């Protein structure tokens, strides 16, 4: 039915219409991406971490605690810890231990972009736990750290 309707449209008009669409599609696509992504950027750190904490809690044995979070953050594993790169203050710039690159503060109170992207949090938890502890962090460890960090 659709095609019989289309075939009644003069072919010139059809091609004009489709070229308009193909010219406009990058703009449309950009608009769609902006609309889809903007809630991620405008969302407060607490919303993202609340959602993640709820999910992690389903896999963790103990309720999350800030004191366990800071203990894991500072835990020494053969000379490595989260502070190796993020330094002793999450309110100050860090410095990558290997590359020397500056890492912006981890505390959301100082750096509001922190803990707003689930993708970023998961990516860096994975990488950094492996680098620091030689394994992935457990849901318990991640939850404890997230809870503590989200309040900094």
Residues that bind ligand HEC (CB under 6 A): 82, 84-86, 96-98, 103-104, 114-115, 117, 120-121, 124-125, 128-129, 131-132, 145
CA 46 to chain CA centroid, Å, is 13
Least distance to ligand HEC, CB of residue 151, Å: 14
Q: Which is nearer to ligand HEC, 16 or 123 (CB)?
A: 123
In angstroms, give the least distance from the CB of 75 to ligand HEC: 8
In contact, 68 and 146? CB cutoff 8 Å: no
Residue 10 or 39: which CB sits closer to ligand HEC?
39
Give the residue with the Cβ less far from ligand HEC, 15 or 62. 62
Nearer to ligand HEC, 5 or 98 (CB): 98
C-alpha pair distances (Å), 7 with each of 4, 13, 14, 26, 50: 5, 11, 9, 27, 53
Cα dist. 90→5, 21, 25 in Å? 63, 49, 43
């Amino acid at each position: 039915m659709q095609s019989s309707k289309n075939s009644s449209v003069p072919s010139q008009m059809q091609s004009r219409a489709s070229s308009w669409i193909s010219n406009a599609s990058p703009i449309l696509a950009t608009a769609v991406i902006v609309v889809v992504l903007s809630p991620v950027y405008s969302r407060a750190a607490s919303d993202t971490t609340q959602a993640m904490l709820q999910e992690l809690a389903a896999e963790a044995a103990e309720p999350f605690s800030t004191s366990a979070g800071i203990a894991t953050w500072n835990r020494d594993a053969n000379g490595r810890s989260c502070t190796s790169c993020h330094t002793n203050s999450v309110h100050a710039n860090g410095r990558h231990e290997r590359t020397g690159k500056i890492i912006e503060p981890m505390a959301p109170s100082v750096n509001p972009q922190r803990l707003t992207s689930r993708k970023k949090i998961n990516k860096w938890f994975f990488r950094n736990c492996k680098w620091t502890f030689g394994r992935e962090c457990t849901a318990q460890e991640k939850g404890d750290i997230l809870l503590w960090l989200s309040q900094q």
